[in-house]
């Protein structure tokens, strides 16, 4: 009877074939460094990180608290509100006034925001209901909006420009700020230039290209305005440079918010606000009672880290405190058990 070759003979060829190259990398002979986590290194590291985090947290927290905000609600739900008659009787062509006082000077620039609550711009169907190619000025998609815009894609078989639910729900309240003086009321200048993101204004949003001798109205010919808009896109502002898809109020609105309560920048007061009495004349147009929402206005100064947001400072304080507490716990354990050794006999 013939003898079959053993397993070692059968595997010699395969083993040689699959054997890695004899290099320092493939054979894992590269020099390596591994820290020894002794108490002498770990404990000071925890205490040092804790002190650094606490110092940063205190700086961020007090800087955030130095930002001054004046928040005004003008929903008009309460009967004693000056905007109650607008909220009760309808929002069409209704105006109301909101009075407030500035106790100390707010250095410029002061940012003026409008705020909405219980408005879910983060809804998926709402968030995708737009046509970025159309908003970028593509003439083809101007007349042929994306199917994502449905049911705000066409109106009476004519393309809607701009299409989609986001554009259709554009915030259209307007505000004029006055300072009350003994000699009369003086209007506070509000700057609407540069309130949108640079990338949005210069890259993502563009008007359709104008042919020789044509204006923006002719460029939008063959399209219709969104159903809830009182005017077409090319008549959003009296300033021709702030019309169409590059209207900055429109651009700010089209950048959807992540949370149901959000603020969006409305205007900038470059000279700030001096102490005194003021009022805001509001054109109350935007309905919010149908979804139990609220509307408000906020005047805010800024710091080197932006507007008021204490979260980051509190987060650093919590992390720093956790490092300090962990360091003390580890120090106690080290003191208690450093002289004990456990021996095991085989």
Taking only the tens place, the pLDDT of each residue in 194-224 is 999 999 999 999 999 887 777 899 999 999 9
Q: What are phi and psi of 4, to 5 degrees?
A: -75, 145
Average pLDDT, the chain: 90
To the nearest whole percent, how much of the chain has pLDDT over 70? 92
* CA proximity to 105, closest of 282, 306, 264, 278: 278
Model confidence at 40: pLDDT above 60: yes
Q: What is the pLDDT of residue 6?
A: 52
Q: What is the pLDDT of residue 3?
A: 52
Residue 321 CA to residue 148 CA, distance in Å, equals 49
DSSP conformation class of 202 = I
* 342 vs 152 pLDDT, higher one: 152
Model confidence at 342: pLDDT above 50: no
Cβ-Cβ contacts under 8 Å for 37 (sequence gap 6 or more): none
pTM, full prediction: 0.81
């Amino acid at each position: 009877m013939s003898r079959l070759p053993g397993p070692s003979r059968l595997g010699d060829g395969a083993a040689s074939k699959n054997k890695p190259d004899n290099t320092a990398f493939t054979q894992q002979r590269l020099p390596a460094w591994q820290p020894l986590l002794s108490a002498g290194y770990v404990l000071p590291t925890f205490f040092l990180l804790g002190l650094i985090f606490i110092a940063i947290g205190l700086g961020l927290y007090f800087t955030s608290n130095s930002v001054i905000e004046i928040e005004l609600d003008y929903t008009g739900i309460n009967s004693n509100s000056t905007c109650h008659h607008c909220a009760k009787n309808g929002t069409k062509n209704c105006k109301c006034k909101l009075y407030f006082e500035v106790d100390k000077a707010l250095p410029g620039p002061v940012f003026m925001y409008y705020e909405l609550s219980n408005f879910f711009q983060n809804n998926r169907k709402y968030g995708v209901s737009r046509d970025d190619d159309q908003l970028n000025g593509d003439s083809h998609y101007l007349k042929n909006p994306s199917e994502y815009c449905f049911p705000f894609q066409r109106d009476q078989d004519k393309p809607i420009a701009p299409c989609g639910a986001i554009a259709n729900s554009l915030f259209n309240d307007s505000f004029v700020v006055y300072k009350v003086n003994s000699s009369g009321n003086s209007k506070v200048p509000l700057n609407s230039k540069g309130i949108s993101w640079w990338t949005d204004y210069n890259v993502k949003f563009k008007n359709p290209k104008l042919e020789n001798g044509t204006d923006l109205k002719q460029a939008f010919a063959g399209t219709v305005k969104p159903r809830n808009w009182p005017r077409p896109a090319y008549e959003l502002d009296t300033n021709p440079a702030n019309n169409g898809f590059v209207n900055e109020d429109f651009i700010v609105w089209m950048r959807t918010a992540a949370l149901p309560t959000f603020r969006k920048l409305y205007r900038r007061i470059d000279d700030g606000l001096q102490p005194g009495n003021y009022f805001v004349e509001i054109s109350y147009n935007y309905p919010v009672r149908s979804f139990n929402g609220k509307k408000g206005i906020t005047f805010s100064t800024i710091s080197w880290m932006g507007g008021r947001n204490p979260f980051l400072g509190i987060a650093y304080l919590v992390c720093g405190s956790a490092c300090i507490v962990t360091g003390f716990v580890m120090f106690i354990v080290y003191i208690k058990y450093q002289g004990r050794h456990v021996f095991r006999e085989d």
